[in-house]
Amino acid sequence: MSSDQIDDVEIATFCGRLTCGKAFIQTAGRGRPKEFCSETCRRAADRDYKRARGRAGVLDEQLRRTRHEVAAYGRKPEEGQWTPAERVQAEIQAQTALTRATTVLELGASSERLLTELQALVMAIRPILADSARQAAQIA
Nearer to Zn ion, 14 or 73 (CB): 14
The string over 67-78, giving b where at least 16 C-beta atoms fall within 10 Å of a residue's C-beta and e elsewhere, is eeeeeeeeeeee
Stretch of 40-48, 66-74, 101-109, 128-136 contacting Zn ion, by CB under 5 A: 40-48
For residue 123, give Cα distances in angstroms to 83, 84, 128, 130: 19, 19, 9, 11
The CB-of-83 to Zn ion minimum distance in angstroms stands at 54
Residue 13 and residue 27: Cα distance in Å, rounded?
A: 10
The CB-of-140 to Zn ion minimum distance in angstroms stands at 59
Residue 48 and residue 70: Cα distance in Å, rounded?
A: 32
Nearer to Zn ion, 20 or 125 (CB): 20
Contact call for residue 37 and Zn ion (CB under 5 A): yes
The CB-of-20 to Zn ion minimum distance in angstroms stands at 3
Contact call for residue 15 and Zn ion (CB under 5 A): yes
3-state secondary structure string, 93-125?
Answer: HHHHHHHHHHHHHHHCCCHHHHHHHHHHHHHHH
Contact call for residue 41 and Zn ion (CB under 5 A): yes
Contact call for residue 45 and Zn ion (CB under 5 A): no
Contact call for residue 20 and Zn ion (CB under 5 A): yes
Nearer to Zn ion, 16 or 127 (CB): 16
Non-local (6+) Cβ contacts of 84 within 8 A are 75
Could you list the residues that contact Zn ion (CB under 5 A)? 15, 17, 20, 22, 37, 41
